[in-house]
Structure 1
Amino acid sequence: MKKIIFAFLFCTVFMVSYQIKAQNILQAKDLSTVSVDQLSEADIVKIQAQLQSNNLTIDQAEPMLLSKGMSASEFIKLKSKIAANAPKTASEKSSASSSGRKQIAITNSIVKDTLNTLVFGSELFSNPTLNFSPDLQLATPVNYVLGPGDELQISIYGVQQYSANALVTAEGKIAVDYVGQLSVAGMTIEAATQKIKNAIAGVYSTVSSGQSKVSISLAQIRTIKVTIVGAKQPGNYSVSSLASVYNALHVAGGPSKNGSYRNIELIRNNKVYKYIDIYDFLVKGDQSSNVSLKDNDVIRIPAYSTRVTIEGEVKRPGIFELKKGEHFANLVSFASGFSESAYTASVNVVQKTSKEFKVKDIAQSEFKNYLPQSGDVFKVTKILDRFENRIKITGAVFRPDFYSFTEGMQITDLIALAEGLKEDAYTNRARIIRLKEDLTTEIINVDLKAALSGEATANQPLKREDLVTIYSVLDFKEEYKITINGEIQKPGTYNYFEGLSLNDVIIESGGLTGSASKRVEIARMLKAESIDAASDARIKLFNIEITPDNNEQTKDFILEPFDVINVRKLAVYEKPQTVTVSGEVTYQGNYVLALKEEKIYNMIVRAGGLKKTADINGVRIKRLIKEEQIEAIANVAASDSLKDELTNRLKNKLKYATIPINWESIVKNRNSSSNIRLFEGDEIVVSSYNESIKVTGNVLLNSEMPYSKGKSFKYYLDAVGGVDAKGWKRKAYIIYPNGKAAVSKSFLFIRSTPKVLAGSQIVVPEKPEVRKLSTGEFVSIAGVLASLAGVIIAILR
C-alpha cells in the first residue's frame, strides 16, 4: 500500500513540475517544485521569451520568483542557464575564447550626459568609450572574494587527471567529485585555492605525493548588486564583481544636475568606506579612489557645496566644483592654467549677494588667498594690444625693426642697435613720429648729421612707441624709364641708368628680330623753363641708322630718361603664306600664295584643275573665323550667358566660315565676283559629283533619293511623304553643294521655290511654338477693340 501511495505522489509531483515548466513561469503560483536541471534548452528559450515580452531581466524577476517558492539555489541555476544561453557579443566571444573566463550577462542602459555639459568632469560620463569595465582577460586579483554565482574551474593533471567546473551555491559551497562540499564564500581566491588543494590532496594520493598537480581558476564571474543615489539614473544596478566605483558611476550616468564630483561616498556595511574625488583622476590621473565594489555597496552622491564658473582666456573654461579651503589658484590649475594672451595682473569676478550682483577685482597677489564663493563667475580678459617698451626704426639702416626701449635712449643709440646707417642714408634730416599722452601724434625732425657728430642738442631723446625714419637719398630720385617698341624680341619698358645707350637697351630687350630695318626712331621729351610760342613741337625726334644683322652697333647713341625707341620693320618682309586645296582636283595639298592678290581660279589651275568627277556646283572655301570676328559677333548677344555660349560655339564647334563659289561664273569671266582673293589658312574644297538629293528636318521620312533633272522642290518633298505636323513648309530651304542656301519666296500670292541641283540638301524647319490666347485675354482684347470702335464712331459723327 505504501508503494502505491509513493508512486502516486511521485507521478503527481512530476506532472505538476512538468506542467509548471510547460506553462508561463511568470504566471505560475507555486514554483517550489521546479527543478532547473530537468529544464531543456527549449524551456530556457521559452523562459527568455517570457522575460523579454514582459520587459524584464532575470535579475528584475528574482524577487517575484523567490516569493513564489523557487529556492535560491534553483534561481542561481536558472540564472546561469539563461546567461549561458544568451547570445554573446563580439567582445564576449573574444574574451571567452582567449581566457576561458565568462561573465554573467549584464544589461544596463547608459544615457549620455547632457545636463552637465559645461561642468568639469561631465565628459567622463558622456563618452561611451570610457566605461571603466573590468578586463576579463587579466589575472584574477588575489584579494578577490568569492561569493554565490562564481564558478571555479578545477583541473588535476599529471598521473591522475580530472577537470570540472564548480559553481558557488547560495549557501557559499562548491561540490567536488569524491571530495565533497567545501565552503568558500567570503574567502579570497588565494585562500580558497589553498583550501581546495588541501582537500583534494586528502583524496588523491598522487596530489599529496606531487605526482599530480592541481590548477584552480575563476571560470565565471558573478554579478553583484550596488545601489547608487544622487546619480543621473539612481537605482539598483547589477555589475560585475570585478567592477570599480568609476564603472558603476558611468553606468548610472554620473552625478545628477546638482550632484558633487568631489565628495562622492562609497558606503559599505553602513559606514563610509571611501571618499571619491573625481578631480584627482582628471587632473592628476590618480585612480587610488577607484576601488573595487562589493555586493550591496552603496554609492552616495551628495549635492555640491561650491560651484564657480571661469571663462575667457583660460585653457579650459567651464564650471568647476571647489572643496572647502580651495583658492582661486586651485581653480586656475583645474582650468589647465591661463592662455598665452591672458591678462593676469587681475581677474574680474561677478558675485551674487542676497539682493543683487556685485563686481570685484582680484589682484595677482591674492590668487593663492582668495576663497571663491558658490556662483562666482570669473572673467579672464586678454592683455592689451600695446607694448610697454617698444620702439621702431625704419629706412636706410642695416636692420630696420622693433627694438626694446630703455629710459634715456637717444636716436644714436637706436641707430647703433640697428647696426648703423646704410651708404645711401640721407643725413641732413631724420623723422620721429611720436605718440603723445592724449594718443595724438606729432612729428619731430632731427638733424641727423649733427646728432652723429656728437651735438647733444641734436641727439634727440626717444620715448616709448616712437617711430624713427631714416631717409635714403634714393627716395628723392625720380624713377626713370625707357620704352622700346617695334621689331625687337621683348618690347616693353625698362629701367633707365645714367650712361645708358641704345645698344644696352637692344641687348636687354633680347635683340632685334629678323624683320628689323636699319631705321630707328627715338622720341625725346622737351624740357625748358619757358614756353617757346614760335614752335609747336611736343617732342624731339632722332632718326638713326643701325646694322640690322648685328646687335652690337658701331655707332652708339646715349639715351635720356623717358626716351621712346621705335625699331622699324623692313618695307618688304612677309613670310610665305599657305592655303590648302582638297577634294576633286588633280594635285591636292598645301600651296603658297605666290601673288599679293592670289585668287581662287589661279590656285585651282595650279592644282591641276578640276577632275571629271568634280561637281562644278560644289566649290567652296573654308575660312578660319578670327578672334576679332568672334568678339564682334558675340557682342550682339543680349546677355553674358548667351555671349559665352555663342563664343564657345564659334571657337570650338564651327571654327570655319563657309564661302560658296560659283565656279561656272568664274570660268566664263575671270573678273567675276566669285573669283575672290585668298588669305592664309584658307581651304579650297571641291566636292565630288553626287547624284542624289537629301531631304531632312520635319518631314515624314528623312531620306536620300536619286536626283532627277528638272524636278521641282515640291517633287522631292512629296517623295518623302510631305511635311509632318510640326513642319514649316513655307520656310523650307535648300543647301547647295557649295554651301550656299536658298529659301522659298512669296510675292502677291505667287510662291516660288528654289531650283534643285544634284548633291543638294532640302531642309524643312520646325514651326515656332505659338501660345493661344486664354479666354480672359480674348475678352480683354475684345473689350479694347469695342472701346476703340466707339471712339472712332464718335469722331466720325
Structure 2
Amino acid sequence: MQRFITLLLFLFAFGSLISAQQLSDDQVIQYVKEAQRQGKTQKQMTTELAAKGVTAEQVERIKSKYQNQQQQEDKKNNFSFSSRQRKQGVETPLATQDKRKATTGADAEEGEELLTEQNKDTELPENQIFGHNIFTNSNLTFEPNVNMATPTNYKLGPGDEVIIDVWGVSENSIRQTISPEGSILVSNIGPVYLSGMTVKEANSYLQREFAKIYSGIAGARPSSQVKLTLGQIRSIQISIMGEVTVPGTYTLSSFSSVFHALYRAGGVNRIGSLRSIKVVRSGRTVADLDVYDFILKGKMKDDVRLQEGDVIIVNPYDCLVKITGKAKRPMFYEMKNTESISTLLKYAGGFAGDAYKKAVRLIRKSGQEHQVFNIDEMDYSVFKLADGDQVMVDSVLERFENRVEIKGAVFRPGLYQVDGDVNTVKRLIQKAEGLRGDAFMNRAVIYRENEDLSREVLQVNLRALMQGTLPDIPLQRNDVLYIAGLTDLKEEGTLTIHGEVGAPGTYLYADNMSVEDLILQAGGLLEAASTARIDVTRRIKDPKNAQYNKTVGKTFSFEFKDGYLVGDSAFFQLKPFDEVYVRRSPAYRTQQNVSVNGEVLFAGTYALSKKNERLSDLIGKAGGVTPDAYVKGARLIRKMTEEEHKRQEDLLKLAQKSGKDSIAADVLEAPDTYVVGIDLQKALGRPNSSDDLVLREGDVLFVPEFINTVKISGEVMYPNTVLYQKDKGLKYYLEQAGGYSEKAKKRSAYVVHLNGTVAQLKGNSANDIEPGSEIVIPTKEEGKKMTLAQTISIGTSIASLASVITSLIYLLK
C-alpha cells in the first residue's frame, strides 16, 4: 500500500510527463460507475484516475459534493425515522410494556393519529391539557397489588382459586378453582356454588354448609373454624370505548380498577374527557369518575374495581378552557359547565407572584365573532366559563406606587417608601442613617418624574437645608435624591513604583505618603536595588494655564540610607500619580556558571570571575587537559539568549510568509542551544587572542578523547565510517563508501569537524579532513520541484480518493 501511494505521489509530482485531457466531475463519476460495474479494484480505479489527469483539487471538490448530498439524505432519513418512531411510540408502550391485548382496526389507527397529534404539543407546556399525561406516565400505572389481603367485598367468579381452611377439633384444607358453572366440589357435600358472592358472604355460606359434615363448627361455642381466602385470582375481560387512544377489549386482573384500565388503553385522546368517565355494568351506570379529584385532591374513592363484562365509556369533553399569562400553571383545563373562573384559577395553581390580581381578561368565541370580557376580582366566583374560552392574566406594572431612592454619600443608600415619616428630603437623609463625612454639601440633586412622564432636575443647597436656613423640600413618588461624595467628584489618585522592589505596581494614593511608605507597601527593596539613586517623576498640572507647555514632567532624584531619604529630601511628600523608579545597582552581579566536561582533570561547573573570562581561563580552572584529550576536536555548546530566540522566531515568520515551504516552517522549533565553532588548540597556544573565545553564562565546553575514524554520509552508494588516514583526501574516503550516487552534487561536498566548524572540500582535501570528521555529499537539485506542502496535500487527497469511490457508487445508484 505504501508503494502504491508513493507511485501516485510520483505521478502528480511530475504531471508534465503525462499528456492526458483532464476529466470533468461528471465524467469522473461516470468512470467510477463503469469501473465498479466491470469489477475493478479501488487500487486500479485510483491509478487510472491519476493517469487521466484528475487533480487533488478535483478530488476534494467531488468529495465535498458527495458529503453535502449525503448530509441531505441523512436529514431526510432522520425525518422519516422520527416520524415512524413517533407513530410506533403509541404501540410500543401499550403493546410491549403494558402487555395488553386489544382489538385493532380503524379505531386504533384513529387513536394513534390523535396521540401523535397530542405529542406535538409536548414541546409547549401551555398547549397541553391538564391531566392528559397521567395515563401515559410509566411511573404511574395504577397496577393492582396482588399481594394485598383479600378484600371482603371482592366478588368471586369462575377462574378464582379459593382456599378453604378448617382448623380446631377438625382439620382440613381445600384448594380448588371455581368452575365455569360457578361452583367447587367438596367431599361429602357436593357442589358448592360461590360465584357472585363476596368473600364475606362466601365465608358465612361455608360456615353453614360445612356444619353439615363437621359437628364442631355450629353452636354457640364452636370447637372448629372454617375460613375462605383467595389463591390465584382470575382474569376478567372489560371493554373501553369512546375517546381513548386505543379503544377495545382488554383482559385484566380481577383486582384492576378503572384507572389501570385507562392506562392500558393509552389514556384519553385529545378530545377525551377526564371529568366524566362512566362505568357501565349490566346496562346500568355504576360510577361516574372525575380524574381531577384524584390529581388535585388525591381522592381514590371513585376508582372502582372492575368486574367481568364492565364497559368504560370516555365521552368528549364539554368545556375546554385555556389560561395564559401570569398563572402558576398556564395550560388547557377541562371545566364543567357549572364551574367559574375562581375554580379555573384554583386548577392553575393560583396567580404567579408578579400577576395582576384585581382583574383578568377573557376572550370568548360567540359563534359569530369574538367577545372580550374584563372580569373584576369580585366576579371570579360567579362568572361561568364556556367551551373555547381563553383567560389571560396580566402582569403587574413596571412602576412603584410609593418609592423614593437616595444615592451617594449616605450610610444606607437605596429604596424607601414615601409615607408620613419619610416625605421630605431631610427626613429621607435621616432614614438613610445620615450623611457620610465626604458628602459634598454645596449641592445635591433631585431627579423627578412628573405626571406626564417628563423629567426635571432640582438643585438643593444641602448645607443650608441641614442647617435649617432653607425650608425642607417635599418628596414625590419616584424621586431620586443624589448626594455626591468628594471622592466621587475627583479622579482617584494612584502611585506607581517600578524596578527593584518586592511587588512593583500601582497603589492607591493617601495624603502625607512618602517615598519610604510606598517602598514599604511595595514589599521593600530587593538585594539588587541601588540606594545611591531613587527617581520620582511628577506630572505637570496647571488647569488655569491657557498656553502650550513643552515640559512633559518633573524628575526628582534621592539617596536612600537605612530605609530613609537622606538630606533635604527627607521631608519629600508624594502627590497623586507620581511614579517612583528604584534602579538596579551597577555594582550588583549574580553568579554566572559555565561547565567543562570530558578529558580535563577536574570536570564540572565553574563560576565566572570576570566578565571577559576565556576558554584558556576555564581550562586552567579545571586543572588542564588529560593526556588522552583530543584538544582540536573540543566543541562549545552555548545557550540561546532571549534576543537570539526572538531573532530565530522572526526568521521562521519570514519563512512562512515566503510561501516556499510553510509546513517545514510550522514544524521547525527553535532550539535552546547551538554549537559554537572553536579551536581550543589555538586558544590554549595563544591565550587572550581572537581564537580564545570569551565565555558567557550557560556555556558548556566538551573536550573529547581522540577519535580516529571518519564518517561518510549523504549521496554515496554505501554510507560508512572508516579509519582516519593522515594523508588521504576526499577521493580515498569516497572509495570506502562505494563512490557517488546518481543524485550526488559532487562539487558541493563538505566536511563537518568535531569542534563544530565546517569546510568545503576542494582540490587537495587531505588537510581539511581530520579525525572524527564527517564528510557530507549533498543531493543535487533536479529542475523545478513541488514544495513539501503541495506534495503532502496531493498525497492526502489521492489517499482519500480510494475510500470515497465506494461511497460515490452507493450514492449514485
Superposition TM-score, scaled by structure 1 size:
0.73
Which of residues 588, 609, 612 in structure 2 aligns to 1:594?
609
Further displaced range: 614-623 or 141-150: 614-623
Report the alpha carbon displacement of residue 430 of structure 1 after superposing the two structures with TM.
Answer: 0.6
Report the alpha carbon displacement of residue 727 of structure 1 after superposing the two structures with TM.
Answer: 9.2
> How many angstroms apart in 2 are the aligned matches of 1:452 and 1:285?
65
Provide the residue aligned with 2:192 in structure 1: 182
Return the letter of the residue paired with 2:424.
Answer: Q
Provide the residue aligned with 1:217 in structure 2: 229
Does the aligned pair in 1 maintain the 2:100–2:250 contact within 8 Å?
no
CA RMSD of aligned residues (A): 4.2
> How many angstroms apart in 1 are the aligned matches of 2:548 and 2:414?
57
Distance of aligned partners of 1:447 and 1:694 in 2 relative to their CA distance in 1, 3 Å threshold: same
Distance of aligned partners of 1:539 and 1:129 in 2 relative to their CA distance in 1, 3 Å threshold: closer
Is residue 312 of structure 2 the alignment partner of residue 299 of structure 1? yes
Further displaced range: 233-242 or 663-672: 663-672
Distance of aligned partners of 1:475 and 1:316 in 2 relative to their CA distance in 1, 3 Å threshold: closer
Report the alpha carbon displacement of residue 242 of structure 1 after superposing the two structures with TM.
Answer: 0.5
Does the aligned pair in 2 maintain the 1:615–1:687 contact within 8 Å?
yes
Report the alpha carbon displacement of residue 625 of structure 1 after superposing the two structures with TM.
Answer: 2.5
> How many angstroms apart in 1 are the aligned matches of 2:663 and 2:517?
45
Return the letter of the residue paired with 2:636.
Answer: I
Report the alpha carbon displacement of residue 269 of structure 1 after superposing the two structures with TM.
Answer: 1.9
Provide the residue aligned with 1:73 in structure 2: none
Further displaced range: 150-159 or 435-444: 150-159
> How many angstroms apart in 2 are the aligned matches of 1:464 and 1:751?
107
What secondary structure sits across from 1:403 in the alignment?
A: strand
> How many angstroms apart in 2 are the aligned matches of 1:691 and 1:536?
73
Is residue 597 of structure 2 the alignment partner of residue 582 of structure 1? yes
Report the alpha carbon displacement of residue 215 of structure 1 after superposing the two structures with TM.
Answer: 5.4
Higher RCO by CA contacts (8 Å cutoff, separation 6 or greater): 2
> How many angstroms apart in 1 are the aligned matches of 2:253 and 2:227?
24
Which of residues 305, 327, 335 in structure 1 aligns to 2:340?
327
Is residue 702 of structure 2 the alignment partner of residue 688 of structure 1? no
> 1:351-370 maps to which residues of 2 (within 5 A)?
351-370=364-383
- C-alpha offsets along residues 270-326 of structure 1, whole Å, 9 cap, x if unaligned? 111111111111111111110111111111111111101122322222211110111
What secondary structure sits across from 2:440 in the alignment?
A: strand
What secondary structure sits across from 1:123 in the alignment?
A: coil
Return the letter of the residue paired with 2:131.
Answer: G
Report the alpha carbon displacement of residue 672 of structure 1 after superposing the two structures with TM.
Answer: 5.3
- C-alpha offsets along residues 471-524 of structure 1, whole Å, 9 cap, x if unaligned? 223334554444444443333444443333333333333333334233334444
Distance of aligned partners of 1:574 and 1:347 in 2 relative to their CA distance in 1, 3 Å threshold: same
Distance of aligned partners of 1:276 and 1:541 in 2 relative to their CA distance in 1, 3 Å threshold: closer
> How many angstroms apart in 1 are the aligned matches of 2:766 and 2:388?
98
Which of residues 146, 163, 169 in structure 2 aligns to 1:153?
163
Distance of aligned partners of 1:616 and 1:284 in 2 relative to their CA distance in 1, 3 Å threshold: same
Does the aligned pair in 2 maintain the 1:488–1:510 contact within 8 Å?
yes
Distance of aligned partners of 1:713 and 1:357 in 2 relative to their CA distance in 1, 3 Å threshold: farther
What secondary structure sits across from 1:598 in the alignment?
A: coil
Provide the residue aligned with 1:425 in structure 2: 439
> How many angstroms apart in 2 are the aligned matches of 1:337 and 1:162?
62
> 1:10-159 maps to which residues of 2 (within 5 A)?
107=101, 113-116=115-118, 118-155=128-165
Further displaced range: 183-192 or 156-165: 156-165
Provide the residue aligned with 1:289 in structure 2: 302
Which of residues 391, 408, 432 in structure 2 aligns to 1:378?
391
Superposition TM-score, scaled by structure 2 size:
0.72
Does the aligned pair in 2 maintain the 1:586–1:609 contact within 8 Å?
yes
Q: Percent identity?
A: 34
Distance of aligned partners of 1:163 and 1:686 in 2 relative to their CA distance in 1, 3 Å threshold: farther
Provide the residue aligned with 1:612 in structure 2: 627
Provide the residue aligned with 1:659 in structure 2: 676
> How many angstroms apart in 1 are the aligned matches of 2:719 and 2:231?
88
Distance of aligned partners of 1:258 and 1:604 in 2 relative to their CA distance in 1, 3 Å threshold: same
Report the alpha carbon displacement of residue 203 of structure 1 after superposing the two structures with TM.
Answer: 3.5
- C-alpha offsets along residues 341-400 of structure 1, whole Å, 9 cap, x if unaligned? 223333333332334434443333332222222112223333333222221111111101
> How many angstroms apart in 2 are the aligned matches of 1:426 and 1:382?
41
Distance of aligned partners of 1:513 and 1:131 in 2 relative to their CA distance in 1, 3 Å threshold: closer
Return the letter of the residue paired with 2:681.
Answer: E
- C-alpha offsets along residues 621-651 of structure 1, whole Å, 9 cap, x if unaligned? 22223334333322444479x9999899757
Does the aligned pair in 1 maintain the 2:100–2:264 contact within 8 Å?
no
> How many angstroms apart in 2 are the aligned matches of 1:519 and 1:238?
103
Provide the residue aligned with 1:74 in structure 2: none
Report the alpha carbon displacement of residue 697 of structure 1 after superposing the two structures with TM.
Answer: 7.5
Provide the residue aligned with 1:100 in structure 2: none
Does the aligned pair in 1 maintain the 2:558–2:566 contact within 8 Å?
no
Distance of aligned partners of 1:453 and 1:531 in 2 relative to their CA distance in 1, 3 Å threshold: closer
Provide the residue aligned with 1:173 in structure 2: 183
> 1:232-247 maps to which residues of 2 (within 5 A)?
232-247=245-260
Provide the residue aligned with 2:479 in structure 1: 466
> How many angstroms apart in 2 are the aligned matches of 1:634 and 1:134?
79
Unaligned runs of 5+ in 2: 1-96, 120-127, 792-813
Report the alpha carbon displacement of residue 171 of structure 1 after superposing the two structures with TM.
Answer: 0.3
What secondary structure sits across from 2:600 in the alignment?
A: coil
Further displaced range: 510-519 or 759-768: 759-768
What secondary structure sits across from 2:441 in the alignment?
A: strand
> How many angstroms apart in 2 are the aligned matches of 1:420 and 1:357?
59
Provide the residue aligned with 1:98 in structure 2: none
Which of residues 748, 755, 770 in structure 2 aligns to 1:738?
755
> How many angstroms apart in 2 are the aligned matches of 1:290 and 1:661?
103
Distance of aligned partners of 1:493 and 1:149 in 2 relative to their CA distance in 1, 3 Å threshold: closer
> How many angstroms apart in 2 are the aligned matches of 1:592 and 1:389?
81
> How many angstroms apart in 2 are the aligned matches of 1:216 and 1:730?
117
What secondary structure sits across from 1:391 in the alignment?
A: strand
Does the aligned pair in 1 maintain the 2:101–2:250 contact within 8 Å?
no
Does the aligned pair in 1 maintain the 2:102–2:248 contact within 8 Å?
no
Report the alpha carbon displacement of residue 194 of structure 1 after superposing the two structures with TM.
Answer: 4.0
Report the alpha carbon displacement of residue 467 of structure 1 after superposing the two structures with TM.
Answer: 1.4
Does the aligned pair in 1 maintain the 2:275–2:289 contact within 8 Å?
yes
Does the aligned pair in 2 maintain the 1:352–1:376 contact within 8 Å?
yes
What secondary structure sits across from 2:134 in the alignment?
A: helix
> How many angstroms apart in 2 are the aligned matches of 1:440 and 1:386?
15
Is residue 527 of structure 2 the alignment partner of residue 510 of structure 1? no
Distance of aligned partners of 1:226 and 1:566 in 2 relative to their CA distance in 1, 3 Å threshold: closer
Provide the residue aligned with 2:430 in structure 1: 416
Report the alpha carbon displacement of residue 336 of structure 1 after superposing the two structures with TM.
Answer: 1.4
Return the letter of the residue paired with 1:596.
Answer: K
Distance of aligned partners of 1:637 and 1:434 in 2 relative to their CA distance in 1, 3 Å threshold: farther
> How many angstroms apart in 1 are the aligned matches of 2:744 and 2:626?
39
Number of matched pairs: 664
Distance of aligned partners of 1:135 and 1:676 in 2 relative to their CA distance in 1, 3 Å threshold: same
Is residue 419 of structure 2 the alignment partner of residue 406 of structure 1? yes
What secondary structure sits across from 2:473 in the alignment?
A: coil
Distance of aligned partners of 1:534 and 1:175 in 2 relative to their CA distance in 1, 3 Å threshold: closer
Does the aligned pair in 1 maintain the 2:750–2:761 contact within 8 Å?
yes
Report the alpha carbon displacement of residue 157 of structure 1 after superposing the two structures with TM.
Answer: 5.9
Distance of aligned partners of 1:255 and 1:520 in 2 relative to their CA distance in 1, 3 Å threshold: closer
> How many angstroms apart in 1 are the aligned matches of 2:668 and 2:179?
91
> 1:640-659 maps to which residues of 2 (within 5 A)?
650=669, 654-659=671-676
Does the aligned pair in 1 maintain the 2:597–2:703 contact within 8 Å?
yes
Further displaced range: 599-608 or 673-682: 673-682
Provide the residue aligned with 1:675 in structure 2: 692
Report the alpha carbon displacement of residue 738 of structure 1 after superposing the two structures with TM.
Answer: 3.0
Q: Which has the larger radius of gyration?
A: 1
What secondary structure sits across from 1:344 in the alignment?
A: coil
Does the aligned pair in 2 maintain the 1:634–1:647 contact within 8 Å?
no
What secondary structure sits across from 2:292 in the alignment?
A: helix
Further displaced range: 595-604 or 489-498: 489-498
Does the aligned pair in 2 maintain the 1:695–1:704 contact within 8 Å?
yes
> How many angstroms apart in 2 are the aligned matches of 1:343 and 1:115?
34
Report the alpha carbon displacement of residue 730 of structure 1 after superposing the two structures with TM.
Answer: 8.7
> How many angstroms apart in 1 are the aligned matches of 2:129 and 2:199?
41
Is residue 262 of structure 2 the alignment partner of residue 266 of structure 1? no
